[in-house]
């Protein structure tokens, strides 16, 4: 394995993640004949707030007038679902008062739906005889020249593509609009949660669940254990689905992760995900101190990560790049760790395997990131401490930042004292 302390020029998955209004945001996503125009791109291109997903109809109307994207002219937005049924009702959100929100006061981190006073109702939409195409986070549901408002993207020349659609009798669609279909946090915390709802609450067989973008190593591993037999959609295909089920969380913010940390959903997913992990061995032994490196990161770049790794090494920490390891090995390392230090990022998904009492120090650029791993740590009984660095002025493209190394070491020592290390 490459030494995490040495800089790398390898491209990172996160270079491709959607960052609205930034030059690195990809204009299109093409798979064979399928070219996707994302909802956010269309909104921003026509001067509409890209975060307001209800304005897709307005964006397409503006494009109709401007002709900016000729290949999607003539497409309109209208609901295509034939029914909508409540699966879980709206209810008060206990997480608003039980999670330690004061730790994040003064930061710009995204709290998502975890701090809303009410948890949004979860409904299931049913469609009949519609076309579906998905890349994992860009998906469109359409019929003829009409696209459903739940869609996160519009296909160029969709009517022509529908003529060659592959027939599918039934699908319970598990994807969503979150960036990064291969991101372990969203795959485990959101997509597999939908599979849980479909199979355990709605009686859908695993073979009826449909995932896009599930061919990356970690999602494929997780899918095989949690929902074996599920279908994986090809990104270069359009499917004509006779009966399609879609959960409301697919199209809107709310519920991340594990539908507001639902205990039954977490138990169902994690019991299966963590079964048959390798026993402690050469790379997995109890009591380890781990630093989860982001030396390949293309976003939220920690500029002084190398000296931080060296300083933590003197405290008995090993630097590990989780992405270089097999998923089972990643989870086993987290299971056997005593203290975990990591910048905010997808590698922290492996905290789902940590033992109660494991101490976690999460490092943040205070302007970027979410509180999701704090919430997971709280739900699993882990000790949790956030540490906030300093953004680097003038480097917004990479969201570069630094940390106070002495401050990180102080947080680590306090965490170690709490477990008697």
Q: What is the pLDDT of residue 411?
A: 94
* The pLDDT value given to residue 29: 62
Q: Cite the DSSP H helix spans in 304-404.
A: 305-313, 327-336, 372-380
- What pLDDT score does 347 carry? 96
Residue 155, Cβ neighbours under 10 Å: how many? 26
Domain ranges for the chain: 78-273, 288-418
What pLDDT score does 136 carry?
78
Look at residue 180 in the predicted model and tell me its pLDDT. 58
Q: Identify the three-state secondary structure at position 381.
A: coil
Digitized pLDDT (tens) for each residue of the chain, 421 residues in all: 334 444 433 333 222 222 222 222 334 566 777 888 888 888 887 788 877 777 888 888 888 888 888 889 999 999 999 999 999 999 999 999 999 999 999 999 998 889 999 999 999 999 999 999 998 788 999 999 999 999 989 999 888 899 889 999 999 999 998 865 678 999 999 999 999 999 999 999 999 999 987 888 999 999 999 999 999 999 889 999 999 999 999 988 789 999 999 999 999 999 999 998 877 554 445 679 999 999 877 778 999 999 999 999 999 999 999 999 999 999 999 999 999 999 999 999 999 999 999 999 999 999 989 999 999 999 999 999 999 999 998 776 678 999 999 999 999 999 877 766 5
Any idea which residue has 């101490």 for tokens? Answer: 359
Contacts of 258-265 with C-beta under 8 Å, sequence gap 24+, read 258/189, 258/193, 258/379, 259/88, 259/122, 259/193, 259/197, 260/93, 260/95, 260/113, 260/114, 260/119, 261/95, 261/114, 261/375, 261/376, 261/379, 262/193, 263/379, 264/196, 264/200, 265/193, 265/196, 265/197
Please report, for residues 44, 115, 160, 229, 309, the alpha-carbon distance to residue 65 in angstroms, rounded to integers and kept in the order given. 16, 40, 22, 46, 54
Q: Which tokens in the block code for residue 287?
A: 């009591």
> 176, 167 in Cβ contact below 8 A?
no
Nearest to 382 by CA among 340, 331, 420, 327: 340
Write out the DSSP string of 32-47: TTEEEEEHHHHHHHTT
What pLDDT, on the 0 to 100 scale, is given for residue 17?
A: 27
Joined tokens for residue 105: 């006061």
Determine the Cα–Cα distance for residues 323 and 288; give it in Å rounded to an integer: 18
CA dihedral 247, 250, 256, 257 (to 10 degrees): 70
Taking alpha carbons only, the member of 253, 203, 121, 213 closest to residue 195 is: 203
Report CA-CA distances (Å) from 280 to 8, 256, 277, 321: 29, 31, 9, 19
Beta bridge partners of 118: 92
Residue reference for tokens 């359009």: 238
Name the CATH code of domain 288-418 (choices 3.30.565.10, 1.10.10.10, 3.90.800.10, 3.40.50.360): 3.40.50.360
Q: What is the CA radius of gyration of the chain?
A: 22
How high is the pLDDT of residue 420?
60
The count of other CB atoms within 10 Å of the CB of residue 119 is 22
Residues in CB range of 393: below 8 A, 6 or more apart: none
Q: How far apart are CA 355 and CA 334, in angstroms?
A: 8
Distance from C-alpha of 353 to C-alpha of 292, rounded to nearest angstrom: 15
């Amino acid at each position: 394995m490459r030494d995490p302390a040495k800089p790398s020029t390898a491209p990172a998955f996160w270079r491709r993640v959607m960052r609205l209004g930034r030059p690195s945001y990809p204009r299109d996503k093409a798979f064979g004949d399928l070219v996707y125009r994302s909802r956010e791109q269309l909104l921003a291109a026509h001067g509409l707030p890209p975060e307001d997903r209800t304005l897709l109809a307005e964006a397409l109307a503006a494009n109709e007038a401007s002709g900016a994207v000729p290949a999607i002219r003539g497409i309109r937005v209208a609901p295509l679902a034939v029914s909508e049924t409540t699966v879980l009702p709206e209810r008060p959100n206990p997480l608003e008062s039980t999670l330690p929100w004061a730790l994040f006061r003064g930061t710009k981190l995204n709290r998502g739906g975890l701090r809303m006073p009410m948890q949004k109702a979860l409904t299931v939409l049913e469609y009949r005889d519609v076309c579906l195409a998905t890349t994992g986070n860009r998906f469109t549901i359409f019929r003829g020249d009409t696209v459903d408002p739940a869609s996160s993207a519009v296909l160029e020349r969709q009517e022509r593509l529908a003529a060659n659609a592959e027939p599918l009798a039934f699908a319970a669609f598990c994807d969503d609009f979150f960036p990064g279909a291969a991101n372990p946090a969203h795959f485990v915390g959101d997509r597999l949660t939908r599979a849980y709802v479909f199979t355990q609450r709605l009686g859908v067989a695993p073979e009826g669940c449909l995932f896009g973008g599930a061919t990356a190593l970690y999602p494929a591993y997780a899918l095989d254990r949690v929902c074996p037999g599920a279908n994986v959609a090809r990104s270069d295909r359009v499917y004509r689905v006779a009966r399609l089920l879609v959960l409301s969380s697919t199209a809107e913010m709310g519920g991340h992760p594990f539908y507001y940390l639902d205990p039954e959903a977490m138990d169902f997913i994690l019991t299966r995900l963590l079964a048959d992990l390798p026993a402690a061995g050469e790379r997995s032994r109890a009591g380890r101190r781990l630093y989860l490196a982001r030396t390949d990161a293309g976003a939220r770049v920690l500029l002084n990560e190398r000296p931080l790794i060296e300083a933590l090494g003197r405290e008995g920490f090993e630097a590990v790049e989780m992405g270089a390891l097999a998923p089972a090995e990643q989870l086993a390392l987290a299971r056997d760790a005593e203290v975990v230090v990591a910048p905010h990022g997808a590698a922290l998904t492996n905290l789902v395997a940590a033992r109660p009492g494991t101490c976690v120090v999460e490092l943040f650029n205070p302007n970027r990131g979410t509180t999701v791993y704090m919430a997971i740590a709280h739900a699993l009984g882990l000790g949790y401490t956030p540490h906030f660095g300093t953004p680097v002025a003038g480097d917004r493209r990479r969201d570069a930042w630094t940390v106070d190394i002495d401050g990180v070491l102080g947080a680590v020592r306090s965490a170690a004292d709490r477990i008697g290390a």
